[in-house]
Amino acid sequence: MAEPKYNEDSIRTLDWKEHIRLRPGMYIGKLGDGSSQDDGIYILLKETIDNCIDEFVMGHGKNIDINIKDRTVKVRDYGRGIPLGKLVDVVSKINTGAKYDSEAFKKSVGLNGVGTKAVNALSTNFKIQSIRDEKSKEAEFVRGELVRESKIEDSSLRKGTLVSFTPDEQIFGNYHFLNDYVEKMLWNYAYLNTGLTLNYNGNKFFSENGLHDLLSQNLSGNILYPIIHLKGHDIEIAFTHGTAYGEEYYSFVNGQHTTQGGTHQGAFREAVVKTIREFYKKDFEAVDVRTSIVAAISVKVQEPVFESQTKTKLGSQEIAPGGTSVKTFIGDFVKTELDNFLHKNQETAELLLQKILMSEKERKELSGIRKIARDRAKKASLHNRKLRDCRVHYNSDDERRLETTLFITEGDSASGSITKSRDVNTQGVFSLKGKPLNCFGLTKKIVYENEEFNLLQGALNIEDGMDDLRYNNIVLATDADVDGMHIRLLLITFFLQFFPDLVKNGHLYILQTPLFRVRNKKETIYCYSEDERKKAIEKLGAKPEITRFKGLGEISPDEFKNFIGKDIRLDPVIIGKNASIEEMLSYFMGKNTPERQDFIIGNLKVEKDLVEEHVS
């Protein structure tokens, strides 16, 4: 085989839009079809809205209008408007923007001059209009290529900027915007920007009490004491303790939801423990203080440094060059304000102390069982193949980390097919042995005593929280029948009962696999519903061969590659807004067996419907 030529002709320079389209992951993280809240289409929306938020923060415009219809997104703010002479440059020239001027945008999220350019390059159609000083200018692009630029004209419209874009199917495939994810994003904007109104498809998003509202509207169970809400210059925190296991955090930097936390979240966790120890004059274990905490923290940092372009984890150590460290800034605030609050609110202080003592008692009761369970898990991992691991894990580089997936399967045949057809670099397989235990109403002791739960917990590395979660996506891959749906419910119960933050943070999914294969000698069509089957028969005609897949084990590894590759169909498990996890689990996994059986038999569809339609 001839060696490839390497000469001057091998070297080429990509222009800005070619580079973004060739390497979109560098700019927006993973692509995805909209099933995950960190998929690229939501990053495009966020980048567009971020510019509007920056205008509001600088004191310009109190309303933002967002409309999504037929995959086309329109975002309108009422800020100052982009300077008309630079309208084309700011959306088509890398490293062009006002945010390099720290005086103009002191605490902005988008500091690198890339965001809107990525939206432009990754859209089939991108339009922008700026109204400023009673003048208007428009520009239109197709996949980043300028196709129309208007002259500056007189305008009677309110000042501001209007952006319209349609994400490119060539990049994102058969994508869809999920309302739940869009609304969650907009609520976060509202909580972090009191006084701002966001109007989305006819619905209004507005918050008067900031992070207090965020916790109030996201709590899924009882709380043990009123929410503690503290505000200062460039910092706001709110927290309480609930009855669930684990820790749950909502952290933000300059309005950006840092779903992976970072230096600010770590500093808050440390500061709370230190302050509480000093207030009660007792050297509590950190885990006893933080177990069941539900907290939100927002800080504003000048020129923040994130660990990736998608800005999901703060890496900054400084508030400003040569300024106070993030850790010291947050630590000093929590020490002063939380200590003052507890001294002034003795009843809350007593309830908090009782919670810590209760957590301490439970931990000590579990300590012996945990050690035995760990030893058992280590031995089991040496002698069985329940977990077929992947090569890339959670703490690798950002782009690959987002792709890590663990399929939880039932039975050897299904796990065998997925194992043979998976991407060994990013996809792992965990094989269940029989139906999982119904753990509704049980304590965490059962997680260590039950071999399946103990090994699953170990495979995900979630015993001590979500910080070291080894797989970004946990996918329930069960048969599309009554037994399969029951297993899904049992597994969802496990996660909601003991690791609710894993579900709330969008890590849990249901794998869609085809129910039918319709084919003739020329073409094969996989159908995920009866309606798709009928359309496939009409398309192929002349009595095609029809196969009904009764279980995942019936799908060959060669075929399975089609369903867990780039065209994978996932349905996220989403907890409906204002849904109570306790009420939901009681209904679906409690003692009302006839009702549950009727539901399972009559609703063989994804659990997304379960948590949205029935308990929202």
What six digits make up the tokens of 579?
A: 């849904």
238: Cβ contacts below 8 Å, ≥ 6 apart = 210, 211, 212, 214, 215, 227, 228, 229, 230, 295, 296
Reported residue count of the chain is: 616
CATH 3.40.50.670 placement within the chain: 385-513+550-613
384 pLDDT above the threshold of 60:
no
DSSP codes joined into one string, 337-389: HHHHHHHH-HHHHHHHHHHHHHHHHHHHHHHHHHHHHHHHHHHHHHH--SEE-
Domain 16-205 carries which CATH code? 3.30.565.10
Better-predicted residue by pLDDT, 12 or 546: 546
Q: Which CATH class is domain 385-513+550-613?
A: alpha beta
> Rounded to an integer, what distance in angstroms lies between the CA atom of residue 174 and that of residue 472?
22
What six digits make up the tokens of 201?
A: 């498809």
> What mean pLDDT do residues 331-352 have?
96
Tell me the pLDDT band of 399, cut-offs 50, 70 and 90: low
- Distance (Å) of CA 206 to CA 64, 196, 200, 215, 361: 11, 6, 11, 15, 41
Calculated CA dihedral for residues 104, 107, 112, 118, nearest 10 degrees: -100
Q: What is the tens place of the pLDDT at every residue in 446-496?
A: 888 888 898 899 889 888 778 788 898 999 998 877 788 889 889 998 998
5 pLDDT above the threshold of 60:
yes
- Distance (Å) of CA 165 to CA 81, 110, 184: 18, 19, 21
pTM of the model: 0.83
> Rounded to an integer, what distance in angstroms lies between the CA atom of residue 294 and that of residue 243?
10
Q: Residue 343: which region, alpha, beta or left (left: phi > 0; alpha: psi -120 to 50)?
A: alpha
Backbone angles phi, psi at 576, to 5 degrees: -60, 150
Asked if residues 401 and 424 have their Cβ atoms less than 8 Å apart, the reply is no
Tell me the pLDDT band of 543, cut-offs 50, 70 and 90: confident
User: In the chain, what percentage of residues exceed pLDDT 70?
Assistant: 84
Question: Closest by alpha carbon to 263, among 326, 332, 344?
Answer: 326
Q: Which residues pair with 570 in a beta bridge?
A: 511
CATH 3.30.565.10 placement within the chain: 16-205
- Distance (Å) of CA 46 to CA 66, 112, 119, 173, 313: 11, 15, 10, 19, 16
Tell me the pLDDT band of 433, cut-offs 50, 70 and 90: confident
Asked if residues 531 and 514 have their Cβ atoms less than 8 Å apart, the reply is no
pLDDT score, position 408: 94
E strand spans, 480-595: 508-511, 516-519, 524-527, 545-548, 570-572
CATH 2.170.16.10 fits 211-362, yes or no: no
Long-range Cβ pairs for the range 111-115 (8 Å, 24+): 111/303, 111/304, 112/309, 114/27, 114/309, 115/47, 115/48, 115/50, 115/51
